[in-house]
Amino acid sequence: MGPGRSREWRAIAAPAAAGLLARLALIALTTPLTLSLDEERLWDLAGSRMHASAFLPPFFPFVLAGLRSLTADSILAVRVVLACGAVASIVLVYRLAERQNGPGAGRTPAWIAALLPTLIYFDGRLRSESLTILLLLAFTFLWTGPRQDQARPLLAAGVLAGLIVLARPELGLFPLILVFIGLRRAEGRRVLRRALLLLPGLLLLVVPWMVRNERVVGSRVVSTNGGYNFWKSFNPETDGSQVPVTDFSLWEGMPEERMDAVGYEAGWRYIAEHPVRSLLLAPAKWGHLFGPERDVLSDLRQGHVPRRSLLADLLFPFVQNVCWALLFGWGLYSLLGPLRSQVKDATLSLLATLLVAHAVFLGDDRFHVPLVPFLCIALPEAWDGSVRGRGALRALLLLLFGEALVWVYILARDAGRIAALIGG
């Protein structure tokens, strides 16, 4: 190994090791873990191999099923394995930042991704965010690689695209928007040829699962929770998030094979009866999508993780949200820069995917997590001296001001819960 490669290896290894240690430390501090409702559902579906169910996308339950078999159903061991997998995401952040911004630009994004509380927290939980991030980064790495006209990396990227859809169906828009951006950049036939090479792997994974679901629940979809979430998104109680929705009487005794259709019928009926409010919910959903991260506080309040001390309990979510607010602002500022690269196109595509999906479906702070490492990748453009137009900067400031108001609203709404947590 030459001196250049040795330096590069150390530059990658240091944040990867620090990130792994941080994740293992948080796992140790939050053990024993009581699973949340979503995690318990995933754990149970993994145990049954999703027998007779299509309510959730299958990728993460099947991964959990494999890990449960390997670890003798140890929740702690599964958490550790998932945390170890996050090391690959840190390495990919480094590589993609170098690919976008040039040699030496990967260190800071990799360190931020390694130590960012948002990623540390989700990499230690039994949720799909961690693996979804890895799939998105790996897809982007193959799509933007130097061998862009060779079939093999694109066929492999198609397999990853299929897994992304099986993890988060709404992210199926991500490669479509990426191809659209390529067409806007006048790549023409070249980008269409590359897109066609994604199809075999994508269809090979997604179509059989949809056929299976038609046989099991009578609906050819990736998951049957689309209608349920659509109903929560267009609901008399909603404010753009799912938190205020408390009346679930519609679903009492509802068989799973009916849930999708009933949810969409109820959602469309509400839109027809309240068209103006339904339109106004879109910016509210975006506000909640990028709002304060409250999962740690929720876990503490509901007793999912052990209480250590009031200082420790409040310090982590406080630092987490300060870091998220800074990353969100600096990340958007970076994306306004003049640099054009395929890696940046992937970040813009993912951002557009989230905006489109959550103009329809409810906003929740957990749903922005896949964007977080991509904002880390974009950050070097924030301090490279590039100039932004005044109009773009004014629009960004206005957007951030609006998001700040949403943060105030959400935190004020949750003040009682936070006070109860502080009071023990």
Residue 286 has pLDDT above 90, yes or no: yes
Residue 7 has pLDDT above 80, yes or no: no
Q: Read off the pTM.
A: 0.96
Reduce the DSSP state of residue 105 to 3 states and report it: coil
Residue 307: the pLDDT is 86
Alpha-carbon distances of 336 from 157, 216, 247, 323, 396, rounded to whole Å? 27, 47, 42, 20, 9
What is d(CA 101, CA 110) in angstroms, rounded to the nearest whole number? 13
What is d(CA 397, CA 392) in angstroms, rounded to the nearest whole number? 9
Average pLDDT, the chain: 93
Percent helix, strand, coil in the chain, to 5, is 75, 0, 25
Residue 1: the pLDDT is 52
**Which whole number is the average pLDDT over 191-200?**
94
Report the percent of the chain where pLDDT is more than 70.
98
Chain center to CA of 203: 22
**Which whole number is the average pLDDT over 9-18?**
92
Residue 69: the pLDDT is 95
Residues, the chain? 424
- For residues 387 and 186, the model is more confident at 387
Residue 424: the pLDDT is 66
Lowest mean pLDDT among 278-282, 303-307, 373-377, 397-401: 303-307
pLDDT (tens digit per residue) in 154-166: 999 999 999 999 9
Spatial neighbors of 50 by CB under 8 A, at least 6 apart, are: 56, 58, 61, 62
For the four alpha carbons of 232, 237, 243 and 246, in that order, the dihedral sign comes to negative
Residue 314 has pLDDT above 60, yes or no: yes
Residue 124: the pLDDT is 87
What is d(CA 405, CA 288) in angstroms, rounded to the nearest whole number? 11
- For residues 9 and 127, the model is more confident at 127
Report the percent of the chain where pLDDT is more than 90.
80
Which span out of 34-38, 213-217, 299-303, 322-326 was modeled with the highest average pLDDT? 322-326
Buried b (16+ CB within 10 A) or exposed e, 218-238: ebebbbbbbbbbbbbbbbeeb
Residue 247 has pLDDT above 60, yes or no: yes
Residue 3: the pLDDT is 55
- Indicate the domain borders of the chain: 3-223+274-422
Lowest mean pLDDT among 144-148, 288-292, 381-385: 144-148
Lowest mean pLDDT among 136-140, 147-151, 251-255, 277-281: 147-151
**Which whole number is the average pLDDT over 236-255?**
92
Residue 6 has pLDDT above 80, yes or no: no
